[in-house]
């Protein structure tokens, strides 16, 4: 079953529209966490659509434009570094997902969320483990979230060139840790992810 066939089967079973939701940036040491919500029209086909992690950056950028052009509705939202440090990354991710769904301006009959935890209530919300490789709507959301966050990290790289965010996108690579040791923690770093460096409990 293809990603689009999966969505079509869900649409037929509920007799209505479906929204896919996914996040990007739960793991990095720096930057906001992103989420996207996408409603695709029935019959929409986007060649090459897949889990964003399985695609090249160039392919994600191409698909990003096509998804936006073909989506019935879409929204990308974030939760800030301050929110991540305040409520924890899981709850901040749920915040971003809820904001993305609320930002669509329309409701869906079914909401498919990547993962195994519901970000918000409602009988229409269903979790799909490995959903970005199962559902076209979730895959589309994963691409919008990933591309949006990567673009944001490239902007942060211009503001904080010493950390070389354009190379690692904030993830905990050897280079990133070396830059943290050299330059310390900035206001765009998640302090709760760096307790060994901050000395905080």
As beta bridge partners, residue 114 has 128
Q: Is residue 198 pLDDT above 80, yes or no?
A: no
CATH number of the domain that residue 63 is part of: 3.30.420.10
The reported pLDDT for the residue numbered 196 is 82
Taking only the tens place, the pLDDT of each residue in 43-65 is: 999 999 999 999 999 999 999 99
Decide if 170 is inside a domain: no
Element (H, E) at 86: helix 81-87
Residues above pLDDT 70, as percent of the chain: 100
Q: Taking 80 as the threshold, does the pLDDT of residue 200 lie above it?
A: no
170-180, pLDDT tens digit by residue? 999 999 999 99
Domain annotation covers residue 185? no
Band the pLDDT of 199: cuts 50, 70, 90: confident
Across 28-39, average pLDDT: 98
pLDDT of residue 82: 98
Q: Is residue 47 part of a domain?
A: yes
DSSP string, 131-193: GGGT-HHHHHHHHHHHHHHHHHHHHHHHHSGGG-HHHHTT---HHHHHHHHHH---TTB-GGG
- Asked if residues 31 and 84 have their Cβ atoms less than 8 Å apart, the reply is no
Into how many domains does the chain fold?
1
pTM of the complete model: 0.96
Per residue in 111-155, pLDDT (tens digit) is 999 999 999 998 899 999 999 999 999 999 999 999 999 999 999
In a domain, 193, yes or no: no
Work out the pLDDT band at 197, boundaries 50, 70, 90.
Answer: confident
46, 70 contact by CB (below 8 A): yes
In a domain, 169, yes or no: no
Whole-number mean pLDDT of the chain? Answer: 95
Q: What range defines the domain where residue 20 resides?
A: 3-149
Q: Residue 155 falls within a domain, yes or no?
A: no
Asked whether residue 164 is assigned to any structural domain, the reply reads: no
């Amino acid at each position: 079953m293809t990603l689009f066939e999966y969505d079509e089967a869900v649409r037929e079973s509920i007799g209505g529209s479906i929204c896919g939701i996914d996040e990007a940036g739960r793991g990095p040491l720096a930057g906001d966490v992103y989420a996207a919500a996408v409603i695709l029209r029935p019959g929409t086909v986007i060649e090459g659509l897949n889990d964003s992690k399985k695609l090249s950056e160039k392919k994600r950028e191409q698909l990003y434009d096509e998804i936006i052009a073909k989506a019935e509705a879409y929204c990308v939202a974030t939760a800030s570094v301050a929110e991540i440090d305040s409520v924890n990354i899981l709850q901040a991710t749920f915040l971003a997902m809820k904001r993305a769904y609320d930002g669509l301006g329309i409701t869906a009959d079914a909401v498919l969320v990547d993962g195994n935890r519901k970000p918000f209530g409602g009988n229409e919300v269903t979790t799909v483990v490995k959903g970005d490789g199962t559902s076209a709507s979730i895959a589309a959301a994963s691409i919008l979230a990933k591309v949006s966050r990567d673009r944001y990290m490239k902007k942060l790289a211009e503001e904080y060139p010493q950390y070389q965010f354009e190379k690692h996108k904030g993830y905990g690579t050897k280079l990133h840790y070396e830059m943290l040791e050299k330059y310390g923690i900035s206001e765009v770093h998640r302090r709760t992810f760096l307790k060994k460096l901050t000395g905080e409990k």
